[in-house]
Chains A and B, each alone.
Chain A
């Protein structure tokens, strides 16, 4: 049950238990207090590769500033198209431009691309295998503004769309590498965007993005965490904490959710005796967790146990992002406690 707006919370009025977090901006930072970050890695990278690739165009539906596309717009004003607050048109126009030989990069929020513009991406773009790149902010639970802005089921919807490649990058380092790789890939791509000051995590591990490849970021004997997007950052933080408690956790990062790197997933899960945990910033239905589970079942690969860290099948509440990540199990602390609990079952 969601909290009813009609029930007043008296303790909020008299500030009974000290300061509390506020929801703040629509796009809350996912960076920790002392975490290194990079500003607008998507916008800067796209602007840079567009210098040498004249086919690249940028389109937005009144959200350039909130998808970091304003960086591209400033660098290449004549190659930016404002399509108004009209996501159906955004996708149709991109399809038309791709038909004429251009490579349009369109940005909006993930809720609008998935829920509002699905038919237009499906028929006008994906069915035609057109070279359109769809880059969307606020994937999963990355805003405290409630269900209108929380794209908790975008991956489930887009996994069902043939021809569409789905990328869920972890951090600024990966976005900088993924954008040129996506540009070089011919065909439609959906990328979940982290924008603003984006954490820098994977550089520490010497990681190199490869489209279509899952990569083991760290190895471990006790449990294997398979993750995508910002949950890889949380998984790596959790692994460090678990290490201090004597738990050896491996992390397999799966930035390409579709097509899924089944060979690597099967190879890692086949190294027997480990608890496998799939962690994703997405509803438990239809995302990476179910994709991995089906892959294992189809190939008769059975890990010691299989568990999921994902958002519940509910419309989520509004609030401050750290509060919500803790409430719904995506915070590092909740990942650590969940894994410890499962290892003790």
Chain B
């Protein structure tokens, strides 16, 4: 069992990740804010409970690899990387501006801690398969996380990778699917019905858990189980998250794949997030 104090601290991490994301969103006036707010708890548990890394050495050989397949979630990962002190906090003011290390879509060449170039969706899981095979060759104990989205379940390449991970019994691979039920053209299941997800991945040979992706305790339990699972098989954590979680007036917006937020609303959103701060 995880200690309560530890989880309180993870909640505060998640709150600060949300805060960082909102501040970056304010620089642009719009963006993939709802995804960042929704996945903040998953990133907090990933970076402050379940991932080994050295902030001062993002390419440390023994780190766990955390791949962001969903390039447009870059704002969310930057928010976590800032909280993890891999990126200095003052850089969030440069988000999406010319010459910034924080472009709108995540690219490995631009940003410390960004392991791959995402954005052409459906790439991350297959790259993770190659990294897992390579890490096994090196007798490495590191895990490879791949954060992908429910939308990426539409891509055939995701399933090529899923099948090969099962076939190669990649027990050093932990997939994290953010099921936020929203894609560019509308609600995910209306775009393409990918359910039932748990038996699908189980049939591909994966150890599958499905949790409320905004419940820190549930996430801690799932990540612990994924890392310590005895089966020689890849692991998947399906995280059902709520778009724009933590800012009720943004949660209420129906079309929130790419949010436009009025200038005065940023301060309002930040006030709501700050009200949850731990002293």
Contacts and interface: CB of A to CB of B under 8 A. Distances in A.
Verify that A and B bind, or say they do not: yes
Given A96-B134, A128-B108, A128-B109, A86 B123 contact: no
A272 B128 CA distance: 55
A100 B132 CA distance: 9
Interface stretch (A116-124, A171-179, A258-266, A287-295): A116-124
A99 B130 contact: yes
A92 interface: yes
A97 B127 CA distance: 8
A124 B129 CA distance: 13
B167 A88 contact: no
Interface in A89-137: 89, 91-102, 104, 119-120, 123-124, 127-128
A173 B135 CA distance: 36
A143 B161 CA distance: 30
Interface string A202-218: 00000000000000000
Contact of A123 (B123, B130, B138, B160): B123
Nearest to A95: B127
B105 to A, nearest CB: 11
B131 A99 contact: yes
A88 B160 contact: yes
B7 interface: no
A93 B126 contact: yes
B36 to A, nearest CB: 23
B164 interface: yes
A97 B120 contact: no
Contacts of B131: 96-97, 99-100
Given A97-B131, A100-B135, A92 B109 contact: no
A99 B116 contact: yes
B30 interface: no
If over half of A's interface residues share one DSSP class (helix, strand or loop), that class is named, otherwise mixed; here it is helix
A84 interface: yes
A123 B156 CA distance: 16
Interface string B134-146: 1101100000000
Contact of A89 (B115, B117, B119, B129): B129
Contacts of B133: 81, 93, 96-97
A164 B233 CA distance: 35
Contacts of A91: 126
Interface residues of A, number: 25
Contact of A88 (B117, B119, B157): B157
A95 B130 contact: yes
Given A119-B120, A120-B157, A99 B127 contact: yes
B60 to A, nearest CB: 13
Contact of A92 (B119, B123, B167): B123
Contacts of B116: 95, 99, 124, 128
B132 A96 contact: yes
B134 A92 contact: no
Contacts of B104: none
Contact of B117 (A84, A94, A96, A128): A128
A104 B116 CA distance: 17
B129 A96 contact: yes
B126 A89 contact: yes
Given A84-B167, A100-B138, A124-B123, A93 B129 contact: yes
A83 interface: yes
A84 B164 contact: yes
B163 interface: yes
B127 A92 contact: yes
A86 B127 CA distance: 13
A338 to B, nearest CB: 42
B127 A96 contact: yes
B127 A93 contact: yes
Contacts of A104: 130
Contacts of A119: 120
A89 B117 CA distance: 16
A101 B157 contact: no
B227 to A, nearest CB: 20
A127 to B, nearest CB: 6
Contacts of B129: 89, 92-93, 96
A96 B160 contact: no
A100 B133 CA distance: 10
18 contacts: A84-B164, A84-B167, A88-B160, A89-B129, A89-B157, A89-B161, A92-B126, A92-B129, A92-B157, A92-B161, A94-B130, A96-B129, A99-B131, A99-B134, A101-B134, A102-B137, A123-B123, A124-B123
Given A101-B134, A127-B117, 8 more contacts: A88-B157, A89-B164, A96-B126, A98-B130, A99-B127, A100-B137, A123-B123, A127-B107
